[in-house]
Amino acid sequence: MKIHEYQGKQLFRKYGVPVPVGIAAMSAEEALAAIPKVQQQSGSEVVVVKAQIHAGGRGKGGGVKVAKTKADAEEAVKKIFGMQLVTPQTGPEGKKVQRLLVEQGLAIEHEYYLGMLLDRATGRNTVMASREGGMDIEEVAEKHPEKIIRMSINPATGWQDYQSRELAKALGITGKVANEFAAFMRPLTRAYDELDMSLLEINPMITTKDGKVLALDAKINFDDNAMFRHPELEELRDPNEEDPSEQEAKKWDLSYIALDGNIGCMVNGAGLAMSTMDIINFYGGSPANFLDVGGGATAEKVTAAFKIITSDPGVKAIFVNIFGGIMKCDTIAEGVIKAVKETGLKQPLVVRLEGTNVDLGKKMLAESGLNITAAADMADGAQKVVKAAKEQR
Amino acid sequence: MSVLVGFDTRLVVQGMSGSAGAFHAKQMVEYGTKVVAGVTPGKGGSKVAGLEQVPLYDTVEEAVRLAHANTTVIYVPPPYAADAILEAAAAGIETIVCITEGIPARDMIKVKYVLDNDYPGVVLVGPNCPGVITPGQCKVGIMPGYIHKPGGVGVVSRSGTLTYEVVGQLTKLGLGQSTAIGIGGDPVKGTDFIDALAWFANDPGTSSIFMIGEIGGDSEERAAQFIADHIDKPVAAFIGGQTAPPGKRMGHAGAIISGGKGAASDKIAALKAANIAVAQTPAEMGSTLAKVLASASVSA
Ligand SMILES: Nc1ncnc2c1ncn2[C@@H]1O[C@H](COP(=O)(O)OP(=O)(O)OP(=O)(O)O)[C@@H](O)[C@H]1O
Ligand SMILES: [Mg+2]
């Protein structure tokens, strides 16, 4: 689960990680009212108006404005709130800005990059940092990988102060500021661990002219598998950032991603689901979605999945591709039949069933009287569904 | 011959009284697996319907001491799965197969650390995997048994259902399997490609290998290098997710840590560079290996 920068900074405050003074606003009016408050609380005239969307590269897309005066800040609020912000990470359609963060503008001495995430290769969390922080970090990583420092976190001890001292040295942070950096890293690594984050990125982390270390940006993802431990974090979910079908899918614990094509897919297992997309593409078709019904699905869940697929107006044909293991074919059949009985079936449906209880599943579909095209195998099913989708046009 | 599981396997099922545990325990018994015990804390001494012949204990320690279990399969819900894995290791189980999907990464980081340091001899397969099967001998997991057939192809896969797909294709082509290992797709896991490849390389019952990878991470690239350096047996492979759209990203860390690796095209290139035949579509996995074997027997 992803959260906004301002929410991340609220968590930082709670843990004692230094961040600038800031107020989040859900409307332009609220943002305008926040400007003098931030100026007053921070004692400085300069404020920064920041678009709150779940994507990076906002600065480059015009979603972050450093304003020297109140008038400039007001202009920035009017311009950014409601805009369709396009950044390298939003896709060409961009994202509508519906929340703003009005924040104290700081006198930056230097911008650093700081990231934490799991390194699959070692099975440990890793801290990545660079002196070349700011908005061009991916370019730095590509052209000068040696400028990114990585340090692994020992699962038994957690992050240690000596690592902060070593990292400070490598980043060129010296003297008393190095101690500030260690004091910054302590609560940060604790928050990462305790809250089951799967990604924590601060770009930039800054040093100020008066020797402070602060987080100016906060990008946080939580491990979806650990959300059961943190019911309080559920509140931070922003429904505007999620596709409605994807939200409905989440309710049913289905893994669903909407795509641009016209062949709806229902598959069990992420690997088979991805490969089903591959083979549809191979035969000249184009998938409308990725949908993994998962292992222990009930008939109700399958019905919900099927309804999500058929509710997409772009879907011209449907391919159900199941190789049952923990997922039983009769459960799939039961769910599909129920969904079709409840909502009807406007599109051609191609079903390939194999695996646990396959004979029972096939029998149920055959006896249901539904207009279903059976497929002998994956290639046969993909070809049939691609053909069916083309004929629908 | 085979790797990991076989006629010597004495299996305990952790979470046997749950619905998934009970269903699959019955299927494993039917397949011929020696299911010697079940474990569900608090339910020791009771019976599971349809599995009356299998004693149910409170702890894995009892399953080892009283029923001589040497292998476990775990169907415990995610919040308790890490504990179940560590309990099995502490009880002296040698091979742990964890089916559970959705274990928090933080839990698995700790489990891996403890296994690596305190139980270096213990093999963990998974989590979030279909399990391990040696056709005709022993099935440990959730895979449909009937699609398999004894033979010489060692299968290792990151994806559960794609494993069934390749096995189904191989069997239809008359190519049986020595052992099929689903290593699972979680970021922190026990057995990785390289471990499985090394076992297959040393197993006289394995004469060729099929490997199924997926986008993300760099273990396929490392496996390709390992195959080039250490394996003489014929290998074919498939990478799933060739047309997956790039995920909606937030931040830069993912791109930085992978250092440009992880795309299907990179993995396919690495495999081809190691002289491994790569199936173009998931429907051609079996036939791709068959072709490699045909040309190997011509040149031999
Ligand atoms: N409070 C602040 N005071 C002064 N400058 C700031 C402040 N917040 C942001 N900036 C400037 O704006 C730039 C962009 O802001 P920020 O990093 O939050 O957004 P971003 O573009 O989404 O980041 P990324 O490219 O890492 O995704 C920063 O690198 C920094 O130079
Ligand atoms: Mg930034």
pLDDT(B251) > 70: no
| Interface with chain A: mutation pick from B73, B257, B261, B268, highest number of A CBs within 10 Å | B257
Is the Cβ–Cβ distance between B226 and B194 less than 8 Å? yes
- Answer whether residue B2 is part of any domain: no
- State pLDDT tens for residues B106-154: 999 999 999 999 999 999 999 999 999 999 999 999 999 999 999 999 9
A146: CB partners within 8 A, 6+ apart: none
Rounded to whole angstroms, how far apart are CA atoms A285 and B239? 19
- Answer whether residue B6 is part of any domain: no
- State pLDDT tens for residues A101-152: 999 999 999 999 999 999 988 899 999 999 998 877 878 888 888 899 999 9
pLDDT(B248) > 60: no
Q: Which two tokens stand for residue B297?
A: 């027997």
Determine the pLDDT at residue A393: 65
Among B125, B156, B171, residue at a domain's last position: B125
Choose among A2, A350, A12, A4: nearest CA to A205: A12
So what's the ipTM on this one?
A: 0.90
Which residue of A216, A219, A220, A221 sits with most ligand 1 atoms within 8 Å of its CB, as the best mutation to test the pocket?
Answer: A216
Determine the pLDDT at residue B31: 97
Determine the pLDDT at residue A34: 97
Count of domains forming chain B: 2
Mean pLDDT of chain B: 93
Sheet holding B131-134, edge to edge: B138-141, B131-134, B177-182, B150-157, B208-214, B235-240, B277-278
Residues B220 and B169 in one domain: yes
- Answer whether residue B262 is part of any domain: yes
Residues B60 and B90 in one domain: yes
Among B75, B98, B125, residue at a domain's last position: B125
- Answer whether residue B4 is part of any domain: no
CATH code (residue B171): 3.40.50.261
Residues B64 and B175 in one domain: no
Distances (CA, A) of A367 to A333, A354, A361: 11, 18, 10
Q: Which candidate in A103, A201, A241, A334 is catalytic? A: A201
Residue B242 touches chain A, beta carbons under 8 Å: yes
Ligand 2 centroid to Cα of residue A112, in Å, is 10
Residues B154 and B288 in one domain: yes
Closest residue by Cα to atom 10, ligand 1, is: A216
Residue with tokens 């397949």: B31
Low-confidence ranges of chain A (pLDDT < 50): none
Yes or no, beta carbons of B165 and A378 under 8 Å apart: yes
Residue B104 touches chain A, beta carbons under 8 Å: yes
Is the Cβ–Cβ distance between A19 and A215 less than 8 Å? yes
Is the Cβ–Cβ distance between B271 and B262 less than 8 Å? no
Residues B107 and B152 in one domain: no
pLDDT(B246) > 80: no
- Answer whether residue B83 is part of any domain: yes
Nearest to B162 among A123, A141, A269 (CB): A269
Q: Which two tokens stand for residue A392?
A: 């629908």
Q: Which two tokens stand for residue A357?
A: 């209880």
> For every residue of chain B, which 3-state class applies, written as one string?
CCCCCCCCCCEEEECCCCHHHHHHHHHHHHHCCCEEEEECCCCCCCCCCCCCCCCEECCHHHHHHHHCCCEEEECCCHHHHHHHHHHHHHCCCCEEEECCCCCCHHHHHHHHHHHHHHCCCCEEECCCCCEEEECCCEEEECCCHHHCCEEEEEEEECCHHHHHHHHHHHHHCCCCEEEEEECCCCCCCCCCHHHHHHHHHHCCCCCEEEEEEECCCCHHHHHHHHHHHHCCCCEEEEEECCCCCCCCCCCCHHHHHHCCCCCHHHHHHHHHHCCCEECCCHHHHHHHHHHHHHHHHHHC
- Look up A201 and say whether it is catalytic: yes
Q: Which of residues 120-139 of B touch A (CB under 8 A)?
A: 130
Residues B164 and B22 in one domain: no
pLDDT(B236) > 70: yes
Relative to the CA of A59, which ligand 1 atom is closest? 21
Determine the pLDDT at residue B299: 61
Rounded to whole angstroms, how far apart are CA atoms A63 and A286? 34
Q: What angle do CA B32, B158, B222 make, to 5 degrees?
A: 125
Ligand 2 centroid to Cα of residue A126, in Å, is 19
Residues B71 and B210 in one domain: no
- Answer whether residue B112 is part of any domain: yes
CATH code (residue B45): 3.40.50.720
Nearest to B161 among A116, A141, A269 (CB): A269
Whole-model pTM? Answer: 0.92
Rounded to whole angstroms, how far apart are CA atoms B162 and B236? 14
| Interface with chain A: mutation pick from B13, B100, B106, highest number of A CBs within 10 Å | B106
- Answer whether residue B120 is part of any domain: yes
- Answer whether residue B131 is part of any domain: no
Choose among A358, A115, A92: nearest CA to B146: A358
Closest residue in A to B261 (Cα–Cα): A142
Is the Cβ–Cβ distance between B209 and B156 less than 8 Å? yes
Residues B101 and B207 in one domain: no
B166 Cα to chain A: minimum distance (Å):
11
Contacts of A375 in chain B (CB under 8 A): none
Yes or no, beta carbons of B250 and A219 under 8 Å apart: yes
pLDDT(B70) > 60: yes
Name the residue range of residue B193's domain. 143-299
β-strands A197-208, A108-119: how paired?
A: antiparallel
Distances (CA, A) of B61 to A3, A93, A387, B87, B274: 43, 58, 57, 8, 45
Yes or no, beta carbons of A115 and B253 under 8 Å apart: yes
Is the Cβ–Cβ distance between B216 and B189 less than 8 Å? no
Residues B102 and B176 in one domain: no
Nearest to A156 among B113, B142, B159 (CB): B113
β-strands B177-182, B150-157: how paired?
A: parallel
Determine the pLDDT at residue A261: 92
- Spell out which residues have Cβ within 5 A of ligand 2, the ion: A 203, 217
- State pLDDT tens for residues B272-287: 999 999 999 999 999 9
pLDDT(B63) > 90: yes
The stretch B192-221 carries a mean pLDDT of 94
Residues B113 and B152 in one domain: no
Among B125, B152, B171, residue at a domain's last position: B125
Residues B210 and B71 in one domain: no
Residues B114 and B149 in one domain: no
